[in-house]
């Protein structure tokens, strides 16, 4: 065993790769928000909040405030944001705002993925032998343009077929649904398409 390679692999686990694409149009987006604004000007754009929402998936709000402080030291034009304000802005975002303008009939695929719930009664499971619970995220994807149209969060005991009616209803608000499919085969086909760019 080459310990140098093992050591390097363990060190690389600590690398943090972030896409700062939201900075490209940050000043322009900020000027659009403040155009005609009376009173205190906006300092935060929606794209910055979406970026923080992606980062927030792995940390609490107070740590996210510390993250904005560190990011502000690296990029001075980005303001630091209070954790309560970050939360308020994230809750105000519309997930359907970024959907493309295509309005024809579409074929969709429905699938789900499980996310384990940390610090949620783990000691009860160890002592009493209960089942490890997780949260399921059901989502509806447009097969042609590979865009998520709707999603729903449930507990692990809800099957895809039970979540299907509400998913189709939510997706139908944004697109005309021509056909739908449930299953892993469609999901893995989409993943291959995303990976190859076709």
**Domain boundaries, given as residue ranges, for the chain:** 16-92, 105-196
Give the ranges where the chain is alpha helix by DSSP (H).
Answer: 3-12, 26-34, 46-56, 61-74, 83-92, 122-128, 160-172, 184-196
Between 102 and 94, the higher pLDDT residue: 94
Residue 29: band (very low, low, confident or very high) from pLDDT cuts 50, 70, 90:
confident
Residue 120 is given by DSSP the state S
Residue 124: band (very low, low, confident or very high) from pLDDT cuts 50, 70, 90:
low
- CA atoms of 118 and 95, how far apart (whole Å): 25
Instruction: Identify the residue whose tokens are 């034009």.
Output: 77
Measured CA distances, 134 to 35, 58, 60 (Å): 45, 16, 19
pLDDT of residue 69: 93
Residue 130: band (very low, low, confident or very high) from pLDDT cuts 50, 70, 90:
low
Instruction: Name the token pair of 29.
Output: 């987006």
- CA atoms of 71 and 67, how far apart (whole Å): 6
Instruction: Calculate mean pLDDT across residues 112-120.
Output: 69
Measured CA distances, 79 to 3, 4, 32, 146 (Å): 43, 41, 18, 34
**Is the pTM higher than 0.75?**
no
CA neighbours closer than 13 Å in the CB half-sphere of residue 61: 12
pLDDT of residue 73: 92
> Contact at 8 Å (CB) between 146 and 190?
yes
Strands 147-155 and 134-142: antiparallel
4-26 per-position pLDDT tens digit: 888 888 887 777 777 888 888 88
């Amino acid at each position: 065993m080459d310990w140098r390679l093992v050591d390097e692999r363990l060190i690389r686990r600590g690398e943090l790769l972030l896409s700062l694409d939201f900075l490209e149009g940050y000043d322009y987006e900020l000027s659009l928000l403040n155009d005609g604004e009376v009173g205190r000007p906006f300092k935060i754009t929606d794209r910055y909040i979406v970026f923080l929402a992606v980062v927030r998936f792995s940390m609490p709000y107070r740590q996210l405030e510390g993250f904005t402080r560190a990011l502000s030291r690296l990029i001075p034009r980005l303001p630091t944001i209070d954790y309560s304000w970050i939360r308020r802005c994230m809750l105000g975002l519309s997930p359907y705002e970024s959907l493309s303008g295509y309005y024809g009939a579409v074929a969709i695929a429905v699938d789900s993925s499980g996310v384990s719930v940390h610090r949620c009664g783990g000691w009860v499971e160890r002592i009493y032998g209960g089942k490890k619970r997780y949260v399921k995220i059901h989502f509806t994807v447009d097969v042609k343009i590979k865009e998520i149209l709707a999603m729903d969060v449930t507990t692990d005991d809800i099957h895809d077929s039970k979540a299907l009616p509400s998913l189709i209803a939510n997706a139908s608000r944004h697109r005309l649904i021509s056909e739908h499919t449930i299953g892993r085969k469609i999901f893995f086909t989409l993943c291959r398409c995303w990976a190859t760019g076709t």
